[in-house]
Amino acid sequence: MSWTFAQIIVIFTVISSVCMAAPVVSSNNVARSYLQLLTRDEGSAAAATPNIMFPENAQLKFSLAAEGTQNYTCDASTSTWVNIGALAHLSNSSLEYDPTKLVGFHYFVNETGTLSPEWDLSRSQPNNDGNNFVVATKIGQFTSPDGPQNVPWLLVQGKEGGLARFVMRAQTKGGVPHTPNCDPSQSAPLLVVPYTSIYIFFD
């Protein structure tokens, strides 16, 4: 079959409208504004957060508030506390954890010998498709603007699951051992340090 002139014009129009789509607003700026809104902070937290913390070409989905523990064990070779994962409850509330709005859990999974963080909303949501989780890898880290007594802010990239392409941990409070050092012969096998944070999900 041969193409008519009108068909060619239609195809050209479709292709050019796709190619010349409206300029994308930098997701960087959207994420920054969102963080400012969440933290009700006009300056410091969002402004101090480096660009690496805001995934480019990603869309903001939502944020959840978390409350849980960061767990540590005493490393015998270095006599320091080493993080061995965390367990937290996730609530559908923007800033403060609200137990009446529990929607999921954050924990670590041991896959092929490495611990990976997971956010799992698949158990508590109606109409879930079983894919409502994300297992991720850390790609960025940033000392909390509120001080090093709070676990760092993080950006992780999803490697499994359909919940999000990126997750950012921000507004952290606590979660760090009082002293970095421990005595392997004296310390309890597990040190559990409470923390709260928000997790911001991007697609």
Residues near ligand NAG (CB under 6 A) are: 62, 69, 71, 84-85, 87, 92, 103, 108, 110, 113, 115, 121, 125, 192
Return d(Cα 18, Cα 28) in angstroms, integer.
Answer: 23
What is the sign, positive or negative, of the torsion defined by CA atoms of 56, 61, 65, 70? negative
Give least dist CB 152 to ligand NAG, A.
18
Whichever of 58 and 88 has its CB closer to ligand NAG, that residue is 88
Give least dist CB 16 to ligand NAG, A.
37
Q: Name, in order, each residue with C-beta under 8 angstroms of 136's C-beta and a sequence gap of 6 or more.
A: 116, 117, 118, 119, 156, 157, 158, 159, 166, 167
In angstroms, how far is CA 187 from the centroid of its own chain?
31
Give least dist CB 97 to ligand NAG, A.
14
Give least dist CB 126 to ligand NAG, A.
9
Give least dist CB 74 to ligand NAG, A.
13
Whichever of 95 and 103 has its CB closer to ligand NAG, that residue is 103
Whichever of 63 and 150 has its CB closer to ligand NAG, that residue is 63
Whichever of 28 and 122 has its CB closer to ligand NAG, that residue is 122
Whichever of 145 and 191 has its CB closer to ligand NAG, that residue is 191
Return d(Cα 168, Cα 113) in angstroms, integer.
Answer: 24
Q: 166-177 in b/e burial notation, b at 16+ Cβ within 10 A?
A: bbbbbbbeebbb
Residue with nearest beta carbon to ligand NAG: 85
Q: Which of 72, 124, 88 is nearest to 199 (CA)?
A: 88
